[in-house]
Amino acid sequence: MLGLLKRSAAAKGRIGISIGADHLAVAVVNRDSAGAALLQRCESHPISPGGPEILAEALRDLRLPALPVSGVLRPQDYHLSLVESPDVPPAELRAAMRWRLRESIDFRVEDAVIDVFDIPAQSRGTHGRMLYAVAARRAAVDRQAEVLGTLGAFDVVDVPELCLRNLASLLPAAASGVALLHLGTDTASVVLVRGATFYFARQMNLQGGLAAAGSGGAPARLNPDSVLLELQRSLDYYERHFDQPPITRVAIAPFGERASELAADLGRESSFDVCVLDLNQALPCAKPVAPADQAAALMAVGAALRREHRSL
């Protein structure tokens, strides 16, 4: 059975792959002897509808290097929960977590792959150790294994929140804490990171925060007051539960007009230092990455930046 945070050997780089409804996104990160990252490839390719064999063939045509491979789950394929850890030995943790999550997911727990990852100890507001639990649809994990396993070095499936953590940790602001806001069509994810340490993640529903519809079929402009309220709730939780200085810096992704508009609006409406995450500035790139590829392949880049091993 494939674990979501499977142990992987150290390597001189990694490939990240995310599979969308109509595209395949690929990122290749190479690392030098000191561990510094270079984004060697970042691209998105349209794909035809079809089964795993169609996707596997498309991957073979890309002639990817022989590096470890990370896949990324789609938002609809997993459920992420912040829960108190059961008081059981580590070897029994996932089994205990399966029982605890059975009422909080919208699919049968018997059809789930369960994994967990740590966050720093909370200084107040809870009596036990807290951790994040991932319940992924087994069919989605198996599909990733069937497609990406054809590359030979596939060893891990990540969740988008951890990919965003990897991206946030590239920012200079991460040293003192940063909130990375990733915009989807109707939802957004915010992750709070200090250094390379993941503290908190939250989903936002953007449907109630849309202003007038854009022209020419463009996405509606986001209401900064609504986004700011949801963002502040996440930051308030962080400040209440962790013994860390307040986070005052916000980065928005993916790079593009929508993120730039929201960054300007939030900068005017709040005291936050707000920027847009541009891959071309966040890390060295073999060639400039166009905004369209940044949007399509952002999670793949985050997956390719993965370095740590499982701690549990």
pLDDT in tens, 244-267: 899 999 999 999 999 999 999 999
| Together in a domain, 148 and 206 | no
Q: Are 106 and 301 in contact (CB under 8 A)?
A: no
Res. 56 pLDDT band, cuts 50 70 90: confident
| Together in a domain, 109 and 248 | no
| Together in a domain, 145 and 245 | no
Residue 189 lies in a domain: yes
What's the CATH code of the domain at 19? 3.30.420.40
| Together in a domain, 180 and 257 | yes
Res. 89 pLDDT band, cuts 50 70 90: confident
| Together in a domain, 119 and 190 | no
State how far the Cα of 163 lies from the Cα of 193, in Å rounded to an integer: 12
What's the CATH code of the domain at 88? 3.30.420.380
| Together in a domain, 151 and 33 | yes
Res. 219 pLDDT band, cuts 50 70 90: low
Residue 6 lies in a domain: no
What's the confidence (pLDDT) of residue 51?
78
3-class DSSP assignment, residue 290: coil
Res. 5 pLDDT band, cuts 50 70 90: very low
State how far the Cα of 23 lies from the Cα of 132, in Å rounded to an integer: 29
| Together in a domain, 129 and 176 | no
Place of tokens 């029994």: 92
State how far the Cα of 61 lies from the Cα of 76, in Å rounded to an integer: 28
Q: How many CA atoms lie within 13 A of 214 on its CB side?
A: 13
Res. 312 pLDDT band, cuts 50 70 90: very low
In the chain the beta strands, taken as DSSP E runs, fall at 13-19, 23-31, 37-46, 69-72, 78-84, 112-118, 130-137, 154-158, 178-183, 187-194, 197-205, 249-253, 273-276
Over its C-alpha atoms, the chain yields an Rg (Å, rounded) of 19
- Tell whether the model's pLDDT for residue 221 goes beyond 90: no
The rounded mean pLDDT for the chain is 87
Q: Is the pTM of this model over 0.85?
A: yes
User: What are the angstrom distances between the C-alpha of 231 and each of 113, 206, 236, 269?
Assistant: 30, 12, 9, 13
Instruction: Choose between 218 and 96: higher pLDDT.
Output: 96
Residue 31 lies in a domain: yes
Per the structure, the complete domain to which residue 262 belongs is given by 172-276
Instruction: Choose between 212 and 96: higher pLDDT.
Output: 96
| Together in a domain, 50 and 122 | no
| Together in a domain, 116 and 177 | no
| Together in a domain, 67 and 80 | no
State how far the Cα of 19 lies from the Cα of 48, in Å rounded to an integer: 12
Residues in the chain: 312
Give mean pLDDT, residues 161-190: 94
Residue 312 lies in a domain: no
Res. 309 pLDDT band, cuts 50 70 90: low
Instruction: Choose between 8 and 208: higher pLDDT.
Output: 208
What's the confidence (pLDDT) of residue 104?
83
Top-ranked range on mean pLDDT: pick from 77-91, 200-214, 254-268: 254-268
| Together in a domain, 21 and 157 | yes
Among 129, 161, 193, residue at a domain's last position: 161
What's the confidence (pLDDT) of residue 72?
96
State how far the Cα of 196 lies from the Cα of 251, in Å rounded to an integer: 15
Give mean pLDDT, residues 219-240: 87
Residue 8 lies in a domain: no
- Tell whether the model's pLDDT for residue 215 goes beyond 60: no
Sheet hosting strand 112-118, strand order edge to edge: 78-84, 130-137, 112-118
Instruction: Choose between 208 and 243: higher pLDDT.
Output: 243
User: What is the domain count for the chain?
Assistant: 3
Closest CA to 6 of 149, 147, 105: 149
Instruction: Choose between 283 and 53: higher pLDDT.
Output: 283
